[in-house]
Amino acid sequence: MEDLIFRRNLLALSSRNPDLGELLMETDSDPRLVIETSRTGLPVPGLRLASRTATFHSLIDPRHEAERLVRAQAVGGFIIALGLGAGYPLKVCLESDATSAVMAIEYSAPLLKALLEAIDLSEIFLDSRFTLLLDPSPGDLEKAILSSYVPPISGDIRSLPLRGRTDLDPGAFETAAGTLRSVLGRISDDYSVQAFFGKLWFRNAVRNIFDAEKPTPALASVRRAIVTAAGPSLEEGIPSVIKAHDEGAFLIATDTSLPALLGLGIEPQAVVSIDCQMISYYHFLKGLPAKVPLILDLASPNRLARLTESPRFFSSGHPFCTYVSSNFRPFPALDTSGGNVTHAALSLAEALGADSCILVGADFSYPEGKSYARGTYIYDYFEKFSGRLCPLESQFAGFVRRNVSTSREEDMAQDGRPYVRYVTKPLMAYREHLERFIERSPMDVIPLRGKGVEITVRKKNKRPKRGLGLFAAGKASESAASFLRRYTREVEALPAPKENVTAYLRSLGAKERDLWTTLLPSASAIQRCAGGSAGGPAGLLTRTREWALAELYDVLRGRED
């Protein structure tokens, strides 16, 4: 009987996880596992310890206990179950159509095998919404969640700890819970960005494709680079910029710092822009030198691409941009995970093969209440609206304090004078992302600090081999019009979404899932605007496809190959 139950469980589990099935076949069962019977006649697994038997569920009514545990949370969503046990809470979750997925985490292969020999869990394993992770490392768990959880359609993500099990291995399960908290923070940040910019990314990228098919010369490799950000310390760092530039360093300007450089008669050798909002056009009101390469995210506003005859596009990792790079024309990639243009500009220096890069103007704070270096767009912008009742100083103060997380720090300048600066949580997050980039980069980054926050540069281990450092797009596989028409036909042909969206997506082929992935950031934005009127996950996908097709029809109207 024991062998029959195990084989039934193994067959169900191996249908989607054959490697785990093979591992369990070669594992010895944990002899400490015991099965007791509840008052309602249901089996209750437990572990025989030195002084007692620790059961995983209630010995009175484990089913009722599971229902009470699940009811204590909101209905449905994406469930991370800490501990498997006899699966009673998992069954309750899976009985609801509102549950998009259940991911169970277990530790100890011997214990898992003993459970599968004693209790039939095949019904749970056969549910397409269920996943079992055994002994996942924090990295494996993070990868599994990020690859499975889709914020617009998966619902809220929450943990469901089986206390009778987690208390027996608190270290491992607390590590998993900590990883979940970390991933939730990342998912929340990513979703917030998608909810505001998802439609803009798609709309801009679709319109940039026609400019992106133009042939562009490669940017040659460099040995030394300078990146200018637009923080106040750029002003005092200008002599260092001029000196390094005169000595042959390749000058990369962020779009925000460009007008400040041009105002001082300094012409960069490349400009990087990643913002998808039209406000980024303000950085170019003072002009863009004709021969200076403009490096644009494929999701940048199309108006920026028209500033130069040969814009250089890169793929930042937005799903539609990644799809375009894989199916139309391979674009070079830059790291924009830091969320700011300074991070992307450093990534360009690294992509060009620079051994070292001086970073100027990266304050990630508002030293002495100052937001940007003189000459940047914000001065002209605020000057336009200033007056007796709204002087320039009031506008700058309001800008600095617009974030609710703004806090005050005191520091000492190099000349021994005390000063204050203001920091925000978003700016601190940008700095932390940049520090991680610097730590793993083969390039030496030398931040020149003014009165902004200190950027920590940790000592590095042996670096990977330096690449060729060429920055260029590959050959287009077809015309832009032909690609967009083909993409439009494929989106039109997607099967209509079904109410169980998780099962629907899993039923699709890889190509169809890729197409939906290109639309998910737009779905996040549509969901934010529509709220509860989006019509549930299936209705949201339907509305998103209709919106995307309308955008595609608009762009293709009147275009010829």
Tell me: pLDDT of 561 over 60: no
Site of tokens 């484990």: 62
Q: Does the pLDDT of residue 466 top 60, yes or no? A: no
List where CATH 3.40.50 sits in the chain: 2-168
pLDDT tens digits for range 330-363: 999 999 989 899 999 999 999 999 999 999 999 9
Residue type, 134: L
pLDDT in tens, 313-331: 999 888 999 999 999 999 9
Sheet harboring 77-82: ordered strands across?
130-134, 99-106, 77-82, 157-161
Amino acid at position 488, single letter? T
In whole angstroms, give the CA distance from residue 45 to residue 222.
Answer: 64
The secondary structure of 67-84 as a DSSP string is: HHHHHTS-SSEEEEEE--
pLDDT band at 463 (very low <50, low <70, confident <90, very high): low
What would the two tokens of residue 360 be?
Answer: 């100027």
Mean pLDDT for 504-516 is 91
What confidence tens digit (pLDDT) does each residue in 215-239 have? 888 898 999 999 999 999 999 999 9
Considering the chain, tell me which residue range(s) the CATH 3.90.1480 domain(s) occupy.
214-448
**Count of CB atoms situated within 10 Å of the CB of 49:** 10
What is the Cα–Cα distance from 332 to 347, expressed in whole angstroms? 11
CA–CA dist 150, 527 (Å, integer): 13
Q: Could you tell me which CATH class the domain 2-168 is placed in?
A: alpha beta
Architecture of domain 214-448 in this structure: Alpha-Beta Complex (3.90)
**Section 149-170 average pLDDT:** 91
Mean pLDDT, range 42-71, rounded to an integer: 94
Q: What is the pLDDT of residues 416-453, one digit of tens each?
A: 788 889 999 889 999 999 999 999 999 999 999 888 99
Tell me how far apart the alpha carbons of residues 92 and 490 are, in angstroms, rounded to a whole number.
38
Q: Where are the beta strands (DSSP E) in 376-465?
A: 407-412, 418-423, 444-448
With a cut of 70, say whether residue 302 has pLDDT above it. Answer: yes
| Secondary structure of residue 236 in the 3-state scheme | helix
